[in-house]
Amino acid sequence: MRKIQMIAIGVIAVSTAVWAHDPPDEVRNAVQFPPGLEPTIDGDCSDWAVVPGDQYWTFTEDLFPLHGHETEGLGRGENDASSFQTTYRVGWSASTGQLYYCNSVFDDRHVIDRPDSYDWYNDDSNEYFFTTRHLSEQEVRDLLETNVAAYWGFNYALPKLPDGGFWMVIGMCIGCEWLDNGDNEWYTLVHGFEGEEFGESTYHYEHRIQPIDSWTSGLGEDFGPSDITPATLSEGQIIHITFGTNDDDGARADGSQGGGHWSSSSGLVGGTWLGQGDYFLEPINPSINWPEVATSVESESWGRIKAQF
Ligand SMILES: [Ca+2]
Ligand SMILES: [Ca+2]
Ligand SMILES: [Ca+2]
């Protein structure tokens, strides 16, 4: 169902491809972490708190309802705040060359109960997509015709299913342990939560990502790490990210799912699965009150002091 729907949106997009980026005419800033101040990937977003959120982060009021779900017909940001609220934080580091996000989701009821591993969008889940090159959807599609995939994405629902089914699906190599294990050279993903694990809670999803320029599609099970071309990030570059978050609150009397399906992409341009939101990779912002970075000498001294106990 989902795939069919996405294809239908894609067809519509051909006539509106001139808009290219989604939401049109909106560019968000990805904060640059000074060397040594990159976030610790531990499912706790508190190490992002030094960045002024009102200047950088994307909140629920900025999100668009996805077509074909309970949210159909609602306007931008017209969510039920008692059921679903998000904060999407994005940063990068010129020192490590990595991309980072730490996203928080408040939910009145956290549900993981889908019968099929692949139906992650029927649980409380995230569908995040990236394109490092500044390409329009049509340009991405044209490249795909030559087996060059310039986009990639992570679909996941946490905690993992009790039966051990897929918790993460990465389109480039579905079910490949070397890529889907949650911690490898390409990314580290850790989640945490406050409140009740399957009740009212705020979940935090913290992710380090090695940016990818492209990967070779059509290889099936023969796909390996050497089929991925990493990308180098630079100050002033614009990359693409689309965040989508699904809120499942379990079966309701009226058959609805709950808070529904929300995206940082308007869907007007199509291709929400390609990553189409513009993010500007900022220089280091000197007006942010960055903490002091411990020097290696200090770290060494501290190591020696600790070693004495
Ligand atoms: Ca952290
Ligand atoms: Ca909810
Ligand atoms: Ca929920």
Q: What is the DSSP string of 250-262?
A: ---TTS--SSEEE
The one-letter code for the residue type at 107 is D
216 within 8 A of 147, measured Cβ to Cβ: yes
| DSSP one-letter string for 269-301 | S--GGG--EEEEEPPP-TTS-PPPPPPHHHHHH
Closest ligand to residue 47's CA: 1
Rounded Cα distance, 199 and 86, in Å: 16
Q: Give distance in angstroms: CA of 45 to centre of ligand 3.
A: 20
Confidence at 213, pLDDT banded by 50, 70, 90: very high
56 pLDDT tier (thresholds 50, 70, 90): very high
Q: What's the gap in Å between 249 CA and the centre of ligand 2? A: 5
Query: What domains are there in the chain, each with its CATH number?
Result: 2-307 (2.60.40.1190)
Q: Per residue in 156-191, pLDDT tens?
A: 999 998 888 889 888 899 889 999 999 999 999 999
Q: Is the pLDDT of residue 3 over 50?
A: no
Phi, psi dihedral angles at 251 (to 5 degrees): -65, 130
pLDDT for 123: 92
Q: Express each pLDDT in 87-98 by its tens digit.
A: 999 999 999 999
Strand partners, 156: 126, 168
Does residue 161 sit in helix, strand or coil?
coil
In whole angstroms, give the CA distance from residue 136 to residue 142.
Answer: 10
What phi and psi values does residue 281 have, to the nearest 5 degrees?
A: -80, 100
CA of 77 to the centre of ligand 1 (A): 27
- Residue 9's φ and ψ, nearest 5 degrees, are -65, -40
Nearest residue to 267 (alpha-carbon basis) of 277, 258, 257, 259: 277
User: Whats the size of the chain, residue-wise?
Assistant: 309
> Cα(151)–Cα(140) distance, rounded to whole angstroms?
7
Of 152, 153, 92, 90, the C-alpha closest to 125 is 153
Q: Three-class SS of residue 102? A: strand
Angle between helices 2-14 and 137-144 (to 10 degrees): 110
pLDDT, tens digit, for every residue of 225-254?
A: 999 999 999 999 999 999 999 999 986 666
Instruction: Give residue 88 CA to ligand 2 midpoint distance, Å.
Output: 17
Distance 171 CA to ligand 2 centre (A): 27
Tokens 């990308």 belong to 231
CA of 282 to the centre of ligand 2 (A): 34
Q: Which residues surround ligand 1, an ion (CB under 5 A)?
A: 39-40, 42, 44, 47, 206
* Residue 70 or 89, more confident: 89
Q: C-alpha angle with apex 90: 289 to 176, nearest 5 degrees?
A: 140
- β-partners of residue 168 are 156
Give the rounded distance of the alpha carbon of 59 from its chain centre.
Answer: 14
H/E element holding 137? helix 137-144
Cα–ligand 2 centroid distance for 269 (angstroms)? 27
CA–centroid distance, 210 to ligand 2, in Å, is: 31
What SS3 class is residue 199?
coil
CA of 293 to the centre of ligand 3 (A): 39
- Give pTM, 2 decimals: 0.87
